[in-house]
Structure 1
């Protein structure tokens, strides 16, 4: 049984109790309804959301927003949301969705389509907007973007007269040699079997020149050769020791802490780790660059958060107004300056004052624009579970890489059945 099965079972049981007496089941939503709303999203590790919500509540005292923080891990967030929506509960109004959930939630009828003319989407990063569209309809509004970055100890590389690695071979060489010399672990990403591992594997496959599914998510396009090459990059790092065994327990926060506490030479993480690192013991000693790949810069996975409205919300008009407010240019600037998350407004990446304050913005924009979105399939959760489970077996040396990718391709074919 996969490791997440108990979690999903618990989430289904939660459907009978979430929201307590406040929840009303089986009621249709109200597109014109106004009143108090609940914003359900992942745990706020930056504490910048509450001031923005407080400002809304000051302006709209009859439509106050309550922040409901779900677990940190994306899998657990989705499980709680799905349990709530399957129960047709009106407990959640605005949903903070991982960009990859748009298709699933729209296909299930859990979120409502939105009028694209109500938002300045033409001023957003184009790849980010695409993550909010399903079957040519806008079902969510981009709030933050994301793309994997390579964090590195600039002070050490400068001391050794080295540039940050652009290829896996360069990363391996520097991680092994300098890790030993400076008594640091070489490299880590997010290797616990959950969505983070799926993303790390997808980036490895993409950076080897392959892909897992077609862009529309309708066909398995996993090439066994490139998939094995990508997986061998990770397995080889663990076998040779430049990826520490402890990394098999890492999610985003664990890998962030390992790097900013000075225990890692290189780390793959999302941009939100940049701000805390500047305020840590390695502040001023690190840099960021694009992920390395097989023969040159790699291809990251496009991440981020989209805001959607529950189909069962009784106050959908207030929810829509809140999303307009929350994704406006002023608040998007705060997304970057206070939350260290990548904003979705393109012009913020070209602002000279912001670039001076955040020198990594050009690299970040380049990483986002070159990143590959995860497939827009309503079966994505099953796909992610299959990938993370299979890859975890390989990283634990329970199954060789070639057998792993062959079995994974077969399992994905059973999930994604072409009509």
Structure 2
């Protein structure tokens, strides 16, 4: 999953493994006067190769705290599994600073794998407000936002212009255009990320949220999915496959496959992260110059995106906690956040960058993305998020493939989530 990632896109995971010495008197809390030393930083699928040059800047300025770059798998699920295995292992603790998917914060904090962070060491007031909420659990700051993301609706602006219609603002308009306009231009109608993996959890949550529903409440202790809104949201996705304006091929799409379908000129509409806009607009794309982006539609107007992206957290057993905090402050500084966007095509968390005229000229989707982030919502918080996500993926995929009606799928999901919350 892109960082998104999350989602998040492919997700970036950043960890710091200490090598060399352990500073004398290193304290458990980040911000201790001691606790500096060399670092190892790992990333899950740095597909744009932007991170190495950023770390070169850090290494030149901090020769005693050099960072070595290591990459984990591209898949968010595989990355989380590797991180969890290491963090559970009492003897290894290779992963000290972790760039975690925004929705892992609650799980990692509840498990005791990451430590609380002092708010005053980081520029939280300069960030887009919703992103800070993804870094907290039980009222405490457990991570620092690094990259944000929100789903956008990409569309073929040349096709809609030829038809004399604006981009869709509601599900009804999206369905109608996907069902009638797309075939006239030899295109499939609409796709998202519908393979049963984390991307489907995101797409399903966006549909439920856009319809006015929710999945969990009270940090995962209360199940709220058994509602008319959830039935409407999941029904929207299931109806698309049944009626054909969502192609069956999309049931096997992750971020990259769906992006490629749009970029190759096979789709009228695509739900994806902003990186897909950048890729589809590149000179070698079949649809270069023909791509527009708007907020995701909902039943009666603009819908609700899920917040993607990643947060930087410090492992409970980090031996150089001060270096960890200093690295996090560096990576969330205004200068580096600008490079995260310009070199990595990843949405920064700094609010002022979304109003920079030069950046808007280079990345025309920034105002739309800012609007989407400010209206976005996090995935359901839960200390058992991995189990929650697996349940959502399986149930929604069954609804989309016609194995269950949306009504039966919602009832089943409510039962499965209730069982998860009891354990």
Fold match (TM-score > 0.5): yes
What CA distance in whole angstroms lies between the structure 2 residues aligned with 1:121 and 1:393? 41
Q: What is the 5 A alignment of 1:334-373?
A: 334-373=339-378
What CA distance in whole angstroms lies between the structure 1 residues aligned with 2:103 and 2:354? 23
Of 87, 95, 99 in structure 1, the residue corresponding to residue 98 of structure 2 is: 95
Of 369, 374, 390 in structure 1, the residue corresponding to residue 395 of structure 2 is: 390
Aligned-pair CA distance for 1:405: 0.9
Aligned to 1:135: 138
Q: Secondary structure at the match of 1:62?
A: helix
Aligned-pair CA distance for 1:223: 3.4
Q: Is the 8 A contact 2:156 2:268 kept in 1?
A: yes
Aligned to 1:297: 302
Of 48, 51, 62 in structure 1, the residue corresponding to residue 50 of structure 2 is: 48
Aligned to 1:74: 76
Compare 409-418 and 180-189 and name the one that shifted more. Answer: 409-418
Aligned to 2:203: 200
Aligned-pair CA distance for 1:185: 1.3
Aligned-pair CA distance for 1:105: 0.7
Aligned-pair CA distance for 1:215: 5.7
What CA distance in whole angstroms lies between the structure 1 residues aligned with 2:166 and 2:41? 43
What CA distance in whole angstroms lies between the structure 1 residues aligned with 2:135 and 2:165? 40
Aligned to 1:38: 40
Aligned to 2:214: 211
What CA distance in whole angstroms lies between the structure 2 residues aligned with 1:291 and 1:218? 29
Of 375, 378, 382 in structure 1, the residue corresponding to residue 380 of structure 2 is: 375
Aligned to 1:60: 62
What CA distance in whole angstroms lies between the structure 2 residues aligned with 1:205 and 1:114? 32
Q: Is the 8 A contact 1:71 1:77 kept in 2?
A: yes
What CA distance in whole angstroms lies between the structure 1 residues aligned with 2:138 and 2:98? 20
What CA distance in whole angstroms lies between the structure 1 residues aligned with 2:83 and 2:256? 22
TM value normalised by structure 1: 0.90
Q: Is the 8 A contact 2:216 2:381 kept in 1?
A: no
- In the TM superposition, what whole-angstrom CA distance separates every residue of 1:181-216 from its partner, at most 9, and x where no partner exists? 111111110111111101101111111121111263
Q: Does 1:239 align with 2:242?
A: yes
What CA distance in whole angstroms lies between the structure 1 residues aligned with 2:314 and 2:286? 41
Aligned to 2:88: 86
Aligned to 1:267: 270
Q: Secondary structure at the match of 1:69?
A: strand
TM value normalised by structure 2: 0.89
What CA distance in whole angstroms lies between the structure 2 residues aligned with 1:75 and 1:50? 23
Q: Secondary structure at the match of 1:304?
A: strand
Structure 2: gaps (5+ residues): 1-16, 21-25
What CA distance in whole angstroms lies between the structure 1 residues aligned with 2:107 and 2:290? 41
Aligned to 1:187: 190
Aligned-pair CA distance for 1:53: 1.1
Q: Is the 8 A contact 2:219 2:383 kept in 1?
A: no
Structure 1: gaps (5+ residues): 1-18, 23-27
Q: Secondary structure at the match of 1:127?
A: helix
Aligned-pair CA distance for 1:392: 1.3
Aligned-pair CA distance for 1:96: 1.0
